[in-house]
Amino acid sequence: MKTKIIMLAILISMGFSSNLYAQESNPKINSEENNKKQKKHTGMSTVEIETLAIKHLDIWTDKNAEKRNKSIKEVYTVDVEIVDPFFVINGHSKLNDFIEELQAKHPGFSFSISQPIESHNNIARLFWQFGPDTKPDTITGQDIFVIENEKIKSLYIFIDGLEN
């Protein structure tokens, strides 16, 4: 666990240079070339990783526990590790239970993407906002994923504005 956190801190301090950022800042790099490079490193294209990240966010907003549980099995590895500022959990059922509790504490809230998804190798970063339709950015943060065998193996959640 300590090793994962240290690696994560190093990656964050390096700025997570992403294929999306490189594409936007360097017009000579086209998306097809980026997708080929990404696929070589992970077996997934940038588009496939973005789709996986969007499915992840959809799961956290889905109010139907049965449908959500089915989606969890498609998106996360069986032994997925979720590291949040307040807890660490492992596995599908604990994830589904946590999402259920989160939704109960924040009725009417939903997740949405607040910035472009970034990815490289087997890592993706998603900036999100969580709130009601009237104030969708009530709570903001980012999720960092480690992807293995086309599923999310590890999820690191950062919530903006928390005191240490």
The phi and psi torsions of 52 (rounded to 5 degrees) equal: -60, -45
Question: What's the gap between Cα 104 and its chain centre?
Answer: 21
**Other C-beta atoms within 10 Å of 148: how many?**
15
pLDDT at 31 (0 to 100): 53
Instruction: Encode pLDDT of 93-129 as tens digits.
Output: 999 999 999 999 999 999 999 999 999 888 999 999 9
- CA distance linking residue 95 with residue 107, whole number of Å: 18
Q: Which domains does the chain have, with CATH numbers?
A: 2-159 (3.10.450.50)
Both structure tokens of 139: 């709570």
Cα–Cα distances in Å, from 91 out to 105, 107, 159? 22, 24, 21
Helix (H) or strand (E) holding 17: none
* pLDDT under 50: residue ranges of the chain: 1-30, 37-38, 40
- What 3 state SS string does 104-136 have? HHCCCCEEEECCCCEEECCEEEEEEEEECCCCC
**pTM, rounded to two decimals:** 0.74
- Give ∠ CA 115-69-150 in degrees, rounded to 5: 55
Cβ proximity of 125 and 56 under 8 Å: no
pLDDT at 32 (0 to 100): 57
pLDDT at 33 (0 to 100): 56
Handedness of CA 150, 156, 159, 160 (dihedral sign): negative
